[in-house]
Chains A and B, each alone.
Chain A
Amino acid sequence: MWHRLRSWLRALVFRSRFEREMREEMERHLALRERDLVAEGHPREEARRRARLDFGPLEATQEECREARGLRWSDELVRNTRLAFRQLRRSPIFALTAIATLGLCIGANTAVFSVVDAVLLRPLPYPEPDRLAVVATVREPAGDSLPWISQDGASWELLRDHATRSHLAVYSGWGSEVSFSAPGWVEIVRQQRVGAGFFEVLGVEPRVGRGFDPEEDRPGGPAVTVLSHHLWQRAFSGEPRILGEKILLRGEPHTIVGILPADFVSDAEADLWTPLRASVDGEGSGTNYGILCRPHRGVSMAEAEAEIEALGRLRYARSEAENEPPNEPESELGWRLVPLQEATISGVRRSLLLMWASVAAVLLIGCVNLAGLLLARSATRGRELSTRLALGGGAGAILRQLLTETLVLALGGALAGLVVARVALSILQSWIRGTLGLWQSVHLDGRALAFTLALTLLTALLFGLFPALRTLRWTRLRPALSGHGGTADVSHRWPQRLLVVGEVALVAVLLVGAGLLVRTLTHLTHLPAGFGTDNLLTAHASLQDARYKERDPIVRLFDRSLERIRRLPGVELAAVGLNLPYQRGLNFPFRQPGGSSTGERPSITVLTYVTPGYIEALDIPLLRGRPLSGSDGPDAARVILVNQTFAETYFNATQANVTQADATWADENRSEDVDAADAIGRFLEVAGQDREIVGIVGDVQQKPSWGDYGPLATMPTVYVPVHQTSDEFLSLVHTWFAPHWIVRSSGSPLGLPEAIRQAIAETDSLLPVSPFAAPADLRARALAPQRLQARLSTLFAGVALLLAAVGIYGLVSHLVTERTPELSVRLALGASRPQTVREAAQPGLVLAVVGVVLGGALALPFTRALQHFLWGIRPNDPLTFAAVGLGLLAVAGVASLVPALRVLRLDPAAVLRQE
C-alpha cells in the first residue's frame, strides 16, 4: 500500500518527467516495431503505418497508463478544483457571501469549542485525574441541590484518622489577596492555604523542594510557604538556591520550602501556598474546608467511596448539635466522592453548554442558508451541466464536480473561520474569565484545528450534498438544451422553501432565548437596591495582617481613618463594614436562646460587622427601633440590628412551623400582616454572646451564598457593631473577607478617591487599599454571568437573524427572476405595480409566518431547558414571544420587499417579446 502511495506521489510530483518518459517509451516501442517490420521486408512508410495501427490508439493507452499509476482521480480532482474556482470567480458576490457566512459560523464554533474543550472535555492537568475526587455531602434520597463540597474540621479529623483506602488532603477553597515582599520585589499576590500532602494527592511533584509536612501543618507550626514557578521567576529571577530564603507575607516572615513546576495550574489560580492548619474550632467550626481524595494504588474508586460513605454515616449519626450544611434536616445526609473535574466545572457546565448549543444553531442556520443559495444557483447552471451529461460525463463525475465546488467553498470558509476564531477566542476569553472564572489555559491548538476540519467537512456535506443531488436530478429530468424552461415551475423550489422555514424557526428559537435572558438581566438590574446608590464610593483593604490580629488595633484603624475622611470637603457620611450590598456576605450561625421552637440547632444568617453610621452612610431605611451609635461600645450592652427579612422569618409569632421558615425566605415567606415589631427587644446568640435586637432595617440586594435564589436576592442579615466583636471573631472573618470603607459625598468632587486613599494612608501607610467602586460596579460584578449570557445570546441571535434575512432575500430574489414572465403578464393584464410587488414578496412572508409559528412551538421546550438561567420571568413569557414574532416578521417583510421592488422596474412589453 505504501508502495502505491509513493509511486503515485512520485508520478504526481515529477509529472512532466512521467509524461515525457511515457511518451519516449512508447515511441521507442513504435520505432522497434517499425524496424522489425522493415526487416521483414515491408517498405519503411508502410512499416511505420502498420506499427502505429497495431499499437492501437496512443492517447487511450496513455490514459490507461495514467490510471494505472493512480493519476486519474487526482487529475479529476485538480480539474474539478480549477472548475470550481472558475465558477466562483464568475459569481464573486455569491462566493464572498458564502465564505463570509461560513467563516463566521465555523470560526465562532471553533472558538466556543476551544473553551468547552479546555473546561469540560479535557481531563484535569494532573496524573490520573479520573482518580481524584472531593468528599461531598449529599442528601439521601438524592436531592436536587448540588452536592455540598465544603466540610468542617471535625469531618476532616474523622476522615484523616480513619480513612485507610485513600490518600486525603485538606485545603481551603478561599484564595485571598495578600501583600508579598521579597528582597527588591513587592507585589499583591493570591494565596491559597492547603494542608500537608495536598500536592502529593494531586500528583504534583514540586520542581524544587517539597510540600508541607504534618509538623508544619499544625497550629503553632513554623511559617513556611511554597511558591508558584512564575512568582519565583518574577521575584527571584529563578534563583536556584531558593530553599530556605525568607519572604514577608502580610508582614510576617515565611520560609520557602518548595517551588512548583511551571505547568501547574489549579482553579484557585494562586501564586503561593501556606499551611492550612485545620482545626475543629474557629474556621473549622464551619464548613470551610475542601477535602481532596485519591484512592491508594490498587484500590478502586468504588472501594474508596464505600469507605467514605461508611465514615459519613458515622459522622452524621453523631452530629446532634454540630454544624452541617445550612438549614437541612440532618437525618438524611451522607458522604460521597465527587470527581474533582465535576466539582470544578459544575457551576459553569450549563452556561458553557448553552453557549455551545447556541453557536451550533447559528452554524446550522448558516448551512441552511448556503444550501438554499446553492439550490438557487443550480437552476442557472442547468445548461452547462446538461451539456456535460450529454457528452458522456456520467452522473458520478458531475456529482464529484459539484461536491468539489462545495468543498472548495467550505475550505475557503474554514480558512476565514480560523481567522475569525482567533479573534473570537480572545474576546470570548476576556469575557468569560472575569465572569465564569475560566482558569484553564485556552488557545487554538491541534484539537481545535482538527475540530475545525471535521466541522468543515460536515458543513460541506450538510449544505452541499442535498443541493448537488437535487441539481443532478433536475439536470437529468430537464431537456435543458432548449431555452430556459418556460413558466417557472414554483413547485420545484420546495426544498429551498422548506429550508427557509427551518431557518426562520431556528432564528425564532434563538431570539426567544436571547430575549428571555436579556429580560432576566433587566429584571435583576432593576431590583430595588434597598439603599441609596448615588454619590457613593467604596474600597476595601485586607486586614489579614500581623498587626491586626486583635480588635483594638482594628477599631482604632477604622475610627481614625473615618475621622480623617469625614473632614474631607464634600464628604457627608463615612463608615466601615465587613460586606456591602451586591456582595456575597459572611454566613454565620446563630441561635435564639430560650424557648424557641427551633430548639438547639443553629440557623444560618448573613452577618456583617459595621461601624456606627453604616446604615446612615448607605442610606438604608430604618424601619423600627434605633440605629447603632457610638454609645454601643465595647463595654456597653451587646446589641444587634436585623433586617426585615430576618425579622419576618424568625419572629413571626403566629408561625408554628419555624423550621420550614428556615428554608424559605423573602418573597416566598413575606406576608403583609406580619408584625415584625415582635423582633425588637428579643435576643440572638451570635458569636458566643447574647445580643439584643434594637432595630429593624430595610433589605438590600445581596449575592446569596446558599440555596437557589438567583444571582441577587434579599437574605436575612444581621449587623453587629465592630466594637462589640472579639479578637478571635475578627481574625477569623478576616481570613475570608476584607472590610470595606464607604463614603457618601455631596455630588462627585474631583480627586475625592485620592483624598480618601490619602486619609487612610495617613492612618496606616502600609495598608494596600483596593481601587474604588461605586454601587453600580458592585452590581455589575454580581451580575456578570447574566450579562455575559445576555450578550452572547443576543450576539448569536443577531447573527442568525442576519443570516435568515439574507436567506429570505435570496429566495425571493430568485423567485422574482424566475417569475418575471408571469409577473409581466400580470402587469400587462392591468394589475397595479404595488399589487404586483406585494404578489412578488408574498412567498417570503408566507414562509416567514410558517417559520415563526413553527419556531414558537419549538421554543417552548427549549425555554423550559433555559429555566435555570431565568429570574423574574416565566419561560413562556407571552410578551417576549410576541415581540420576537413581530420583530422577525418585520425583518422578513423587509427582506422580502427589497427584492420584490425590482418589479417596479419591469418592462412587461420587453419581457413578453422575449418569450
Chain B
Amino acid sequence: MGDRRSTETTEQGSKERGSTDRPVELLQGTLDMLILKAASLGPEHGYGLLLRIEALSRSLLQVPQGSVYPALYRLEHQGLLTSEWGRSENRRKAKFYRLTAAGERRLHAETSHWERLSGAIGHVLAATPQEL
C-alpha cells in the first residue's frame, strides 16, 4: 500500500468549507487504508469515495482528486476491491467499488497497526520531563 505522492491541503478548499481548523497532510501510504475503509461502508464510485473520506474526516482531509484512481486500480489489482459498472444517482453509468473479503482482512490489519502505531507515537509525544 503506497501512494507515491503525499496528499496536500489546499487553502481554497479549507476556506470554502469554512472550517476553523487547517486541513492536515495525509501521511504517505495511508490513502489506501482510507479508501478501503470508505469502501467498507458500502459500494461507491471513485468520486463518492473521495467525498466520503472528506466527510468522515470532518473536512480535515482533502485528498487530491487525481491520486484516488491509481490507488483504486492498485487495490483492485491486488484483489482487495472489486468493481462493477452500475447506475449512479442521476441514472448515469459509473464504476462502483466494493470491499472484498481479502480487503476486509487487510483493512482490519492496517487499522490495528495504525492504532498501535499512533498510540505508541502518542505516548512518546505526551512524555513530560518527569517521566524520564
Contacts and interface: CB of A to CB of B under 8 A. Distances in A.
Interface in B34-75: 45-47, 64-67, 69-71, 73-74
A51 to B, nearest CB: 8
B77 A28 contact: no
Interface residues of A, number: 27
Interface stretch (B86-94, B112-120, B122-130): B86-94
Nearest to B70: A64
B66 A61 contact: yes
A29 B70 CA distance: 14
A3 B65 contact: no
B76 interface: yes
B79 interface: yes
A3 B70 contact: no
A57 B66 contact: yes
A32 B52 CA distance: 14
B111 interface: no
Contacts of B78: 3-4
A68 B73 CA distance: 6
A497 B78 CA distance: 51
B95 interface: yes
A434 B82 CA distance: 65
Interface string A550-575: 00000000000000000000000000
B77 A29 contact: no
Contact of A4 (B47, B65, B71, B77): B77
Contacts of B74: 68
A70 B47 CA distance: 23
Interface string A23-45: 01110110111000000100000
B69 A25 contact: yes
A70 B77 contact: yes
Given A3-B78, A56-B65, A65 B16 contact: no
Contacts of A596: none
Contacts of B45: 25, 28-29
A652 B41 CA distance: 111
Contacts of A57: 66
Contacts of A117: none
B73 A56 contact: no
A17 to B, nearest CB: 11
Q: Is the interface of B mostly helix, strand, loop or mixed?
A: helix
Nearest to A51: B65
Given A4-B78, A25-B95, A55 B47 contact: no
Contact of B47 (A3, A22, A33): A33
A872 B19 CA distance: 104
A28 B93 contact: yes
Given A25-B46, A25-B95, A32-B47, A68 B66 contact: no
A21 B79 contact: no
A67 to B, nearest CB: 8
Interface string A438-463: 00000000000000000000000000
A24 B93 contact: yes
Contacts of A65: 69-70, 73
Residue picked from A3, A29, A67, A70, most chain B C-beta under 10 Å:
A29
A28 B69 CA distance: 12
Contacts of B77: 3-4, 7-8, 68-70
A737 B95 CA distance: 87
A70 B69 CA distance: 15
Interface residues of B, number: 23
Nearest to A37: B16
B86 to A, nearest CB: 11
A60 B73 CA distance: 14
A33 B47 CA distance: 8
A672 interface: no
A467 B98 CA distance: 50
A29 B65 contact: yes
A28 B92 contact: yes
Contacts of B66: 55-57, 60-61
A43 to B, nearest CB: 16
B47 A28 contact: yes
Contacts of A28: 45, 47, 88, 92-95
A61 B79 CA distance: 21
Contacts of A22: 69
A54 interface: yes
Nearest to B100: A3
B73 A3 contact: no
Contacts of B71: 68
Nearest to A2: B79
A26 B93 CA distance: 12
Residue picked from B16, B66, B88, most chain A C-beta under 10 Å:
B66
Contacts of A8: 77
Nearest to B80: A3
B122 to A, nearest CB: 33
A29 B94 CA distance: 9
A69 B66 CA distance: 16
B68 to A, nearest CB: 8
Nearest to B71: A68
Contacts of B69: 22, 25-26, 29, 61, 64-65
Residue picked from B64, B70, B94, most chain A C-beta under 10 Å:
B70
Interface string A60-92: 110011011110000000000000000000000
Nearest to B10: A54
Contacts of B47: 28-29, 32-33
A40 B74 CA distance: 32
Given A28-B47, A56-B64, A61 B94 contact: no
A872 to B, nearest CB: 72
Interface in B9-49: 16, 45-47
Contacts of A31: 92
Contacts of B79: 3-4, 7
Contacts of A54: 64-65
A165 B73 CA distance: 68
A56 to B, nearest CB: 3
Nearest to A6: B79
Contact of A68 (B70, B92, B93, B94): B70
Interface string A476-498: 00000000000000000000000
Contacts of A67: 70
A57 B71 CA distance: 16
Nearest to B66: A56
A145 to B, nearest CB: 67
Contacts of A3: 77-79
A32 B89 CA distance: 10
A22 B46 CA distance: 11
Contacts of A25: 45-46, 69, 94-95
B102 to A, nearest CB: 8
Q: 4 nearest interchain CB pairs?
A: A56-B66, A64-B70, A68-B73, A3-B79
Given A28-B95, A40-B16, 7 more contacts: A7-B76, A7-B79, A28-B45, A29-B65, A60-B66, A65-B73, A68-B73
5 contacts: A3-B78, A3-B79, A7-B79, A61-B67, A65-B73
